[in-house]
Amino acid sequence: MSWKASARHGVREAPGGFALVQELLNTRPAMSYSSDLLTVTDDAQWWVTEALGTWSRVSGLPAPTLLLSAGDLRSLRRLRTAFETVVLAGANAGPAGALPPADVQVSLVPDVGGWVRVVPTGRGIRWLASALWAEALLAQQAGLWLRLKLCHNAACRAAFFDTSRNNSGVWHDVSTCGNTANLRAFRERRRLSGHSGGQQVGMVQAPEPL
């Protein structure tokens, strides 16, 4: 079972329905080889249909059929930006700035076993927003939220689920973004070292007096 947007980036996927949040974040372009899925209505419609179908299967909850308009695409992009802000706020140490209110509703529904479930409610994009924020809340309660990260490569920013033991991952793929960043840092150190060495050439130490 694959989440289509995240599969483009080749990232580790978040567990269960939490991956729906990761999917939204990964609708951004996959480096230079794949487009933004929320720019063209046909692309966005394909994505949301696939994503909600997958979410319904992993969550065990029904999902509506959403038919998107151009205005819905703008709403989706704003929602994506809001989640990026929240993810980054959780990743950064220290107090965060004011975050936009979610302004969504959910339903609390007991199942046959007596467990209360958080169920999305609303219509259209508001239902999708309800599902996304509900998954964020559940992930926070389960201690999973801080493992959803954006790649530190500014040209990538793929959302990945960090499975490292101490939650220290910063790259969605060490062999690509990690090596690129390390090579860039190495070249910068060599440049600075060469510049510093150049300053030392030609310096003559005065002989000590006899």
Q: How far is CA 201 from CA 80, 145, 189, 196, 205, in A?
A: 53, 53, 18, 9, 11
> Three-state SS for 161?
strand
Measured in whole angstroms, the distance separating CA 162 from the mean position of its chain's CA atoms is 11
Burial level of 163, CB count in 10 A (0-12/13-18/19+)?
A: exposed
The pLDDT assigned to 183 comes to 52
- Sheet strands (E) in 41-143: 106-110, 116-120
The 10s digit of each residue's pLDDT in 115-147 is 899 999 999 999 999 999 999 999 999 999 999
More confident residue, 55 or 111: 55
Confidence of residue 198 (pLDDT cuts 50, 70, 90): very low
User: Sign of the C-alpha dihedral, residues 23, 27, 32, 34?
Assistant: positive
Confidence of residue 190 (pLDDT cuts 50, 70, 90): low
Q: How far is CA 125 from CA 3, 20, 58, in A?
A: 19, 14, 20
Cα 118 from Cα 134, distance rounded (Å): 7
What's the whole-number average pLDDT of the chain? 84
The 10s digit of each residue's pLDDT in 57-116 is 999 999 999 999 999 999 999 999 999 999 998 777 544 455 666 788 999 999 888 889
The least confident of 9-18, 53-62, 170-179 is 170-179
Which domains are present in the chain?
Answer: 4-92+101-182 (1.10.3300.10)
Mean pLDDT, rounded, for 37-44: 97
Q: Is the pLDDT of residue 52 over 90?
A: yes
The DSSP call for residue 31 is: T
Token couple for 162? 């960090």
The pLDDT assigned to 192 comes to 62
Residue of 122, 107, 31, 9 whose CA lies nearest to 75: 122
Q: Is the pLDDT of residue 44 over 80?
A: yes
